Every structure is written in structure tokens, then in C-alpha cells.
């Protein structure tokens, strides 16, 4: 598996369909989390995910798409990911999470240990820029993996 920028991974999902910035954040986070769990390495080489109030967020991705607000980001044809191992993982993330709404994905991440650990004792809705531990991602998602 090769590593890519957060924007390359986001573009891969935007190549599938138009999605909101919040949903794009969660899909991109799950790509990183599952790469940690299944391949013991980061897929995304230029951005960390932080435990924001509405779930995991890459600040760089947030800055790029913040102007979209709650609107769907336009579907695009830009795709620079071409190695089969990465594509297989991204397809699996898409099949698992792509049919869920942004709010469903937010609720899901709020139940999961990596985001919860990074949030610590913060109240719901409280701001945080605490990074989500890649070790927590690896351990948690590996523990729930049901594939072959």
C-alpha cells in the first residue's frame, strides 16, 4: 500500500459521488483508520485526524472545504490513486460506510474508542484539537475486523 495526501484520498471518494464536507471527513478518517488496522501503516501521509466535537477531522481537509458548509461537494473526476491495494481498501471503506449519512457516520465515530479516548473528559460539543492516536485506530479497528 502506498501513501497519499489527504486530498488524494478525499478526491477518490469525491470521484464516487458528491458528499458533504462532514461525510468526506468521516470517510477519509475511516480510510486512515482501516489502513492502520489492516496494514499497520498510514494511508494518509500529510495530515492527522483530531477529535473535534462532530467526530474525527483533518484540519487541512476542513480548511479546503469549509466554504461548502452543509452543501455537498461537487463530484469530480480527479483521481491519483492507482495501486490496487489502496484501491481495494478504499472500495471496502466505501462499501461499508458510503451509504450512511454524515450524521450517521458522526454518531458511529462517537461510539468508537479512538475518538472517545482523544476526547477524554470533554463535554459534548466542546472544542478540541487533540490528535486521535494512530495506535488507538490500529488496535480498535483490528479488534472489530470481521473480514477474511
Q: What is the mean pLDDT of each run of 10 residues along the chain (148 residues)?
A: 95 97 98 96 96 97 96 93 96 97 97 97 94 97 85
CA atoms within 13 A on the CB side of 146: 2
Of 104, 98, 103, the closest CA to residue 17 belongs to: 98
What is the reported pTM? 0.96
Predicted confidence at residue 148, as pLDDT, reads: 61
Residue 30's φ and ψ, nearest 5 degrees, are: -65, -35
What is the model's pLDDT at position 146? 81
Q: How many CA atoms lie within 13 A of 56 on its CB side?
A: 29
Q: What is the pLDDT of residue 11?
A: 97
Sequence-separated (6 or more) residues with CB below 8 Å from residue 102: 19, 20, 22, 23, 26
- The pLDDT of residue 78 is 86
Rg for the chain (alpha carbons), in Å?
Answer: 14
Amino acid at each position: 500500500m502506498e501513501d497519499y495526501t489527504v486530498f488524494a484520498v478525499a478526491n477518490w471518494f469525491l470521484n464516487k459521488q458528491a458528499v458533504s464536507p462532514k461525510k468526506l471527513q468521516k470517510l477519509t478518517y475511516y480510510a486512515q483508520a482501516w489502513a492502520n488496522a489492516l496494514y499497520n501503516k498510514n494511508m494518509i501521509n500529510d495530515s492527522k485526524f483530531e477529535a473535534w466535537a462532530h467526530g474525527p477531522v483533518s484540519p487541512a481537509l476542513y480548511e479546503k472545504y469549509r466554504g461548502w458548509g452543509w452543501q455537498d461537494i461537487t463530484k469530480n473526476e480527479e483521481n491519483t490513486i492507482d495501486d490496487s491495494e489502496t484501491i481495494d481498501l478504499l472500495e471496502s471503506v466505501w462499501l461499508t460506510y458510503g451509504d450512511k449519512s454524515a450524521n450517521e457516520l458522526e454518531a458511529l465515530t462517537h461510539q468508537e474508542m479512538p475518538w472517545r479516548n482523544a476526547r477524554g473528559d470533554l463535554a459534548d460539543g466542546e472544542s478540541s484539537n487533540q490528535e486521535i492516536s494512530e495506535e488507538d485506530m490500529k488496535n480498535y479497528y483490528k479488534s472489530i475486523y470481521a473480514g477474511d
